Structure 1
Amino acid sequence: MINILKILTVGAVSIALLTGCSTTHKATQSARTPIEQLLISEAAIRSASPTPERPLPIPKGANVILTTSGLNTDQVILQQVLTGWLGQQGYLVVQKDDKNATHRIDVIIGSLGTELSGTFIGMPPIQSTLIPFSLPELAFYKSQYQTGYAKFYMNIFEMPSGKFVGSTSPFLADAYYNDYTIFFIFAFTSTDLTSPPELGSLYRKPLNPPPSQNEYETKPRTVK
């Protein structure tokens, strides 16, 4: 009987300690997490390669109208990325009603978004009416894999005749952000994103640290 009481006591204490060591993390306070936004925007930027496999069948310096077609609202970011990319290639993107346009480029977006998958080994969170407290998720091993993906191609037409000129090869790119948890509390990430947000680290440093009060005081003022 004494041994049973010892086992129950040790079990209760262990559960209480594990419950006390649990952590919480809200995925986002906005419509999309910063990580998801970075994955989509980074994939869009990378898909518009600065050196295409073959040049567009349009003379340099031509005035072009750019349109995008896709299945979600994320196509807005790709349209702006391509506007800058076409400018780098030597073209001028004009308004849709510009009569000086010589060509129209229709961007057909096959995919622009994120995928999420993962692996979990451990005990999921438990809520029960039999015990006065709930148990958090206990992960011996947990991984989440997020991938941003972009794929599109362009159809090109002469203006104002609408004559079809040609189609480009597919443009495609991706970006990834993976996070892992081992033995309940040890967490780390792996990513190819530039300057992703960092959460829950004791050694976290601001990306752009604010100036100190002394710097404010010693900074010379410009008198106009």
Structure 2
Amino acid sequence: MEIICPRCESTFATDNNALREHHYQAKCSVCQQIFHFDIAAEDTRSGSSLGRFLGKLLLILTITLLIIALIGQALWWTRSYSYAATSAPVRRILLSSAEQLGVTIPWPGPNKEIRILNSQVTQAGKHLARITGNIENVANKVQAYPVIEVTLSNVYGAPIAHLQFTAAQYLSGAFHAHSGFVPGTAVPFTLSSPALTTAAGYQVTLLSRP
């Protein structure tokens, strides 16, 4: 334990047992002052110091959490997280956190930086058709999957039907709409529907948002 001389304020290290044997009286080796050491007051002072320290620590922790929350909110509302999510570890953390919170990440877009790599039409029987192909996100961020629109036309080129397919309808395998459309990966799609009948012409369009 440390004691402080009340006259010269010199600090000394001492043993509790030694203080108890001398009835909590001590003599300063610097100014020779003899004084009584109040162990109860010292315990109170130590407790107050510890309380102040814990209070400061709690305040710093609260401010840190508030700053983190504000940064997270800014990233959420501006959707800047979609750029960081191009990193697989960051994307896994985001998806895991969203799953634990029971929410779906609102990926931005889809914008016009998505292209169709290829598409082909095959017969599906009973006058039905199936369209397969691949799409690619060429942006530098993760974005939402687009809606794919198919326009059927007759032999004269006039449209006879417009069909729309959401990501949940055309994705399969390891690709899921809630995971976001990662850039630089060719994602296969399959379009099939009772309304997708054989026609003279097909036009596949990706619908984007402003």
Scaled by the length of structure 2, the TM-score of the pair is: 0.29
| Larger helix proportion of the pair | 2
Higher relative contact order (CA 8 A, sep 6+): 1
Indicate the structure (1 or 2) with the bigger Cα radius of gyration: 2
